[in-house]
Amino acid sequence: MSKIIAIANQKGGVGKSSTSINLAASLAILEKKTLLIDGDPQANTTSSFPVADDEVCTFTIDLFNYHKNTITPFETETPNLSLIPTSIDLVKLEIQGKNYFGTHHELKHTLADLKNDYNYIIIDCGPSLNFITTSFLAVADSILIPVQCEYYALNGLNRLFSAFKTIKQNYNRNLDIEGVLITMYDKRLAFSNVIIQEIKSHFRTMVFKTVIERNVKISEAQSHRKAVIDFDASSRGAINYLSLATEIIENNKTDEMNNDSLGKSLHKILEDTTKEKDLTTIFEKLPINKDKNSANYFSENYEKLIGLSKKDIITIFTDSYNDVYSDVWVFRIRERTSFFKKNYLYIHFYNQRVDRYELTVFKKRE
């Protein structure tokens, strides 16, 4: 198995680089051959490794030129971990955009070759949805979104999701969401748990179980040009990132075994609106309240779902991509015109029967 994961959030300082470095090092420690790519001209990831100014190796900008040379990454001191560092030259690519070398197709070819040599390719993206970031999203298998545990954590995420959707529809149909990662959690702060609950109520199954705590060893390690696991293996930072790497390896095993499970593959829900379930059609199959003008039309029909079996639900909602073993199923639905047009119906089962349902609307937060 080989996977390209882009670490992205256009918000600055949320832990993208720290996550890229430490997740990549942890995957490597867990014996996954890993390539870390610094996709940000700020070069924070690069400066966390002892790369010399005149280092002879492949730099990120070279990945956009498929025909240039064979790729020779910088080999780090951590076994199984290689790095493609960046230089300020990457800014040129941003300025010249699509006219530089070629388009993201060159990058796609390069990464397709590199995929043969690694289990995981982790890309640290810069804090904007610019040409470089979108090029990486156009070639990645999934996106991991670090979200800092702070007030207004969710501000701006709608922009990221709409870019995700555009890229998915136009360039990369297979782009998936690896997960939303809560970073810099501080249990001493009373509001931290409230924020975690808010993030989880928005993103539900997309949120990683692992939470990255605030830990000074993470920044100390960076200033020593090391991943935290190589700097202080018993620190909370090292433990948290090792747990994240384990969770990702496990999730990908499950995805391989059961491609139809919801898991973190929310792309199926975010897919084209044509796949949306029209509840009025669905409710026609239910034996009650067919009067669409009735004020209770939706609420009464939702109630009718209570007590039905999983088989009944599959019959009603026809093609189902939910995991039959899971006790929570989710359907994207269209009810009335909603602001953001992303309504989800969660059906909770107990003893194989519908116990309750919940409706969620993705609210616009900007």
Ligand X SMILES: Nc1ncnc2c1ncn2[C@@H]1O[C@H](COP(=O)(O)OP(=O)(O)OP(=O)(O)O)[C@@H](O)[C@H]1O
Residues 229-258, mask of contacts with Mg ion (x by CB under 5 A): ------------------------------
Answer yes or no: are the C-beta atoms of 202 and 230 closer than 8 Å. no
Residue 15 lies near ligand X (rule: CB under 6 A): yes
At 277, give phi and psi (nearest 5°). -85, 125
Q: Contact region for ligand X (CB under 6 A) — 197-205, 213-221, 276-284, 321-329?
A: 213-221
**Which member of 214, 226, 264, 342 binds ligand X (CB under 6 A)?**
214
The count of residues interacting with ligand X (CB under 6 A) is: 22
Q: Contact region for ligand X (CB under 6 A) — 81-89, 195-203, 214-222, 328-336?
A: 214-222
In whole angstroms, how close is the CB of 36 to ligand X at the nearest point? Answer: 13
**Which member of 4, 25, 28, 40 binds ligand X (CB under 6 A)?**
40
Amino acid code (one letter) for 316: I
**Which member of 34, 78, 192, 215 binds ligand X (CB under 6 A)?**
215
In whole angstroms, how close is the CB of 14 to ligand X at the nearest point? Answer: 4
Q: Tokens 């040129």, residue? A: 92
Closest CA to 118 of 220, 209, 5, 219: 5
Looking at the Cβ atoms of 10 and 172, the one nearer to Mg ion is: 10
What is the spatial distance between Cα 146 and Cα 160, in angstroms, rounded to a whole number?
12
In whole angstroms, how close is the CB of 131 to Mg ion at the nearest point? Answer: 17
Q: What is the DSSP letter of 61?
A: G
Residue 183 lies near ligand X (rule: CB under 6 A): yes
The dihedral over CA atoms of 32, 127, 104, 33, expressed in degrees to the nearest 10, equals -10
Burial class (CB in 10 A: 0-12, 13-18, 19+), 135: buried
The item of ligand X, Mg ion, none sharing an interface with residue 15, based on CB under 5 to 8 Å by kind, is ligand X
Q: Contact region for ligand X (CB under 6 A) — 7-15, 96-104, 189-197, 286-294?
A: 7-15
In whole angstroms, how close is the CB of 146 to ligand X at the nearest point? Answer: 6
In whole angstroms, how close is the CB of 222 to Mg ion at the nearest point? Answer: 10
**Which member of 2, 66, 103, 127 binds ligand X (CB under 6 A)?**
127
Closest CA to 261 of 349, 326, 206, 203: 326
Q: Contact region for ligand X (CB under 6 A) — 36-44, 63-71, 198-206, 270-278?
A: 36-44
What is the spatial distance between Cα 131 and Cα 205, in angstroms, rounded to a whole number?
30
In whole angstroms, how close is the CB of 14 to Mg ion at the nearest point? Answer: 9
Answer yes or no: are the C-beta atoms of 136 and 20 closer than 8 Å. no
Looking at the Cβ atoms of 21 and 63, the one nearer to Mg ion is: 21
Site for Mg ion in 15-74 (CB under 5 A): 16-17, 44
Write the DSSP string, 83-146: EE---TTHHHHHHHGGGSSS-HHHHHHHHHHHHTT-SEEEEEE-SS--HHHHHHHHH-SEEEEE
CA R_g for the chain: 22
The item of Mg ion, ligand X, none sharing an interface with residue 183, based on CB under 5 to 8 Å by kind, is ligand X
The CB density around residue 351, as the number of other CB atoms within 10 Å, is 7
Q: Contact region for ligand X (CB under 6 A) — 38-46, 154-162, 342-350, 351-359?
A: 38-46
Residues 226-255, mask of contacts with ligand X (x by CB under 6 A): -----------x------------------
What is the spatial distance between Cα 245 and Cα 56, in angstroms, rounded to a whole number?
30
- Name the E strands within the chain: 3-7, 34-39, 74-75, 81-84, 120-125, 142-148, 176-183, 277-278, 328-334, 343-350, 353-361
In the complex, the residues that contact ligand X under the rule CB under 6 A are 12-18, 40, 42, 44, 126-127, 183-184, 212, 214-216, 218-219, 222, 237
Residues that bind Mg ion (CB under 5 A): 16-17, 44
